[in-house]
């Protein structure tokens, strides 16, 4: 069946035979306890997380098909949701590691029996090549490595076949945790180099479609825009074998169809339903719904400093007072989140992040500040949002548009297809006023500021630059949390964010997942993609 025909069939109502999904996956998959069927709105656009323009669903490829040196432990929240434990680093491909006495290097011992999917051994040379690649390809992967002070190939040494050493340029609390995020994957360098060329020394064109990993799952097939199928790698040595042999991930653009497939029992898992659906599914009790606040994350409004009115702090503060926060929380988030408005002071007293900003809906205050800034009659500005996240961004945009209109700011809605969003918002940084959502992988306030408030970094779509923030972030990233300078530095960062307000947060969203009740092992992860390694299914 062609994709356009599948999309037509996916629009069928729940009672009208919503089983078309099962016609487009292998027939023996449905109902098998060794197979998990996942339905998502969007799938990966590449098998290579290092490739420029790789989308968020591709992070799942890195997690499931590749190993990293280390991973994270897990813990259980009060509501029963299992999530990763940021404070516990556990072995993955590396069975052990040791810091040098002076704290300026770390040496890893690799599992001697680890192999790639083609059966060849994983060696320190593969790790060295993979790390060299990550710090050299540019873009998001290289900046993510930089966050852990991993900057250049000269830092990485293959001591022998199973010994890999990292020399530190400077001490940083983020270095070891950064090795457990999706980016520093271990690639089969021997095979990759067969497909490298002078123009493509890192084999990016080949790895774009052909993963060369040794993770818990192998790629069975990838039909871009339609489905990805993993099969278990039974020789995996970096953890307990996954509880299922097969994972079928189908792209189903319609949220109502994804929900219907869950309710009919024809899909096992969905992560990206609208908040309204998750709340209703939880209330109905037919499937299991688990949720956790996304750490280091806010759904927010970005104000681009390249747009003349937003260069004035008073205008940015006026916009912050013109936001109908409570309505957005109920209509866009359906209460599944933590409010980020209504803070009591412009002087923070805790380093908790995120935390409520000291703004609330006050149209009179907004008009007063606009007049003081020289915009008594307001101005016009396009308000952009990602159609790929329309379940929350479209109602939020409509409410922001309404609120701004009450103080004289006329905003026209700019609906950007999800496929174009990253380029427009994050690469070109060309959107004057835009809804955004970012979640920092490493759960520190200074890490969030590194990505979102430092000038030129990918998620600083506001083109915001503040010399004090630049210096504070650069120095604080090097500090342990217990360092006497850490708390005052973070408090000052947050104080500047409160006052300068280039980013106006609405709420900290939940990451929800719905599963059949016979599916176990789901864990919330900071990268917000499905880690299938711990999933299991009963008949």
Same domain, 403 and 342: yes
Q: What percent of the chain has pLDDT over 70?
A: 94
452, pLDDT greater than 90: yes
pTM (2 d.p.):
0.82
Cβ(357)–Cβ(501) under 8 Å?
yes
DSSP assignment, residue 426? I
pLDDT at residue 8, as a whole number: 37
Would 140 be classed as within a structural domain? yes
Higher-confidence residue: 30 or 439?
439
pLDDT at residue 31, as a whole number: 57
Same domain, 252 and 324: no
What's the burial of 157, exposed, middle or buried (CB within 10 Å: 0-12/13-18/19+)?
A: middle
Same domain, 487 and 393: yes
pLDDT digits (tens, 9 = 90+) for 136-150: 999 889 999 999 999
pLDDT digits (tens, 9 = 90+) for 95-113: 999 999 999 999 999 999 9
First to last CA, the chain: 30
- Overall number of domains in the chain: 3
Closest-CA residue to 512 (of 182, 328, 258, 246): 258
pLDDT digits (tens, 9 = 90+) for 282-324: 999 999 999 888 999 999 999 999 999 999 999 999 999 999 9
Same domain, 345 and 428: yes
| Three-class secondary structure of residue 529 per DSSP | coil
Same domain, 261 and 177: no
Same domain, 359 and 383: yes
Q: What are phi and psi of 375, to 5 degrees?
A: -125, 50
Show the tokens assigned to 225. 């825009």
Would 41 be classed as within a structural domain? yes
Say which CATH number the domain at 167 has. Answer: 3.90.76.10
Would 289 be classed as within a structural domain? no
pLDDT at residue 29, as a whole number: 47
Cβ(304)–Cβ(433) under 8 Å?
yes
Mean pLDDT of the chain: 92
Same domain, 415 and 497: yes
Would 73 be classed as within a structural domain? no
Distance, CA of 449 to CA of 522 (rounded, Å): 29
Say which CATH number the domain at 391 has. Answer: 3.10.105.10
Say which CATH number the domain at 260 has. Answer: 3.40.190.10
Show the tokens assigned to 341. 């408005």
Would 77 be classed as within a structural domain? no
pLDDT digits (tens, 9 = 90+) for 181-198: 999 999 999 999 999 999
13, pLDDT greater than 50: no
What's the burial of 34, exposed, middle or buried (CB within 10 Å: 0-12/13-18/19+)?
A: middle
pLDDT at residue 80, as a whole number: 85
Domain that holds residue 186: 84-190
Q: In degrees to the nearest 10, what's the CA dihedral of 41, 43, 49, 54?
A: -70
What's the average model confidence in pLDDT over 491-495? Answer: 98
533, pLDDT greater than 80: yes
Choose one of 155, 174, 190: the last residue of a domain.
190
The owner of tokens 């530095």 is 489
Would 284 be classed as within a structural domain? no
Would 74 be classed as within a structural domain? no
What's the average model confidence in pLDDT over 19-34? Answer: 53
Same domain, 247 and 312: no
Same domain, 160 and 229: no
Would 121 be classed as within a structural domain? yes
Same domain, 258 and 306: no
405, pLDDT greater than 50: yes
Same domain, 150 and 41: no
16, pLDDT greater than 50: no
What's the average model confidence in pLDDT over 348-362? Answer: 97
Same domain, 228 and 261: yes
């Amino acid at each position: 069946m062609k994709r356009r025909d599948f999309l037509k069939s996916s629009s069928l109502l729940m009672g009208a035979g919503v089983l078309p999904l099962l016609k487009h996956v292998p027939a023996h998959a449905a109902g098998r306890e060794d197979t998990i069927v996942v339905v998502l709105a969007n799938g990966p656009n590449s098998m290579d997380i290092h490739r420029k323009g790789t989308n968020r669903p591709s992070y799942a490829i890195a997690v499931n098909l590749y190993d990293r040196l280390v991973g994270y432990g897990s813990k259980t929240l009060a509501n029963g949701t299992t999530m990763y434990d940021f404070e516990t680093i556990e072995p993955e491909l590396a069975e052990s590691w040791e810091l040098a006495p002076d704290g300026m290097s770390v040496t890893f011992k690799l599992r001697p029996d680890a192999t790639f999917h083609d059966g060849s051994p994983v060696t320190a040379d593969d790790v060295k090549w993979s790390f060299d690649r990550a710090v050299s390809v540019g873009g998001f992967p290289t900046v993510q490595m930089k966050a852990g002070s991993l900057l250049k190939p000269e830092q990485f040494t293959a001591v022998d076949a199973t010994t890999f050493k990292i020399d530190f340029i400077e001490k940083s609390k983020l270095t070891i945790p950064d090795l457990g995020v999706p980016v520093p994957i271990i690639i089969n360098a021997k095979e990759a180099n067969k497909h490298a060329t002078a123009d493509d020394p890192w084999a990016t064109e080949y790895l774009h479609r052909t993963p060369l990993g040794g993770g818990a799952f192998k790629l069975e097939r990838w039909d871009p825009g339609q489905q990805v199928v993993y099969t278990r790698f039974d020789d995996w040595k970096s953890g307990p074998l996954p509880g299922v042999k097969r994972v079928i991930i189908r792209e189903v653009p319609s949220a109502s169809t994804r929900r219907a497939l869950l309710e009919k029992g024809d899909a096992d898992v969905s992560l990206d339903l609208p908040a309204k659906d998750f709340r209703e599914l939880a209330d109905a009790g037919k499937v299991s719904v688990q949720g956790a606040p996304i750490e280091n994350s806010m759904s927010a409004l970005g104000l681009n400093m390249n747009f003349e009115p937003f260069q004035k702090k008073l205008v940015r503060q006026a916009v912050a007072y013109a936001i109908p926060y409570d309505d957005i929380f109920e209509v866009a988030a359906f209460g599944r989140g933590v409010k980020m408005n209504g803070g009591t002071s412009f002087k923070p007293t805790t380093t908790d992040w995120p935390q409520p900003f000291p703004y609330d809906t006050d149209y009179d205050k907004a008009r007063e500040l606009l007049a003081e800034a020289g915009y008594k009659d307001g101005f016009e500005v396009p308000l952009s949002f990602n159609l790929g996240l329309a379940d929350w961004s479209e109602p939020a945009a409509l409410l922001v548009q309404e609120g701004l209109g009450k103080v004289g700011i006329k905003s026209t809605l700019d609906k950007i297809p999800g496929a174009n969003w990253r380029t427009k918002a994050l690469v070109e940084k060309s959107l004057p006023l835009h809804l955004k959502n970012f979640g920092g992988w490493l759960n520190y306030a200074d890490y969030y500021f590194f990505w979102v408030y430092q000038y030129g970094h990918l998620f600083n779509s506001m083109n915001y630059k503040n010399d004090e923030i630049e210096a504070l972030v650069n120095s604080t990233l090097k500090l342990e949390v217990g360092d006497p300078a850490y708390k005052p530095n973070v408090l000052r960062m947050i104080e500047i964010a409160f006052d300068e307000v280039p980013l106006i947060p609405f709420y900290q969203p939940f990451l929800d997942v719905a599963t059949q009740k016979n599916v176990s092992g789901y864990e919330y992860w900071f990268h917000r993609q499905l880690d299938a390694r711990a999933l299991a299914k009963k008949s």
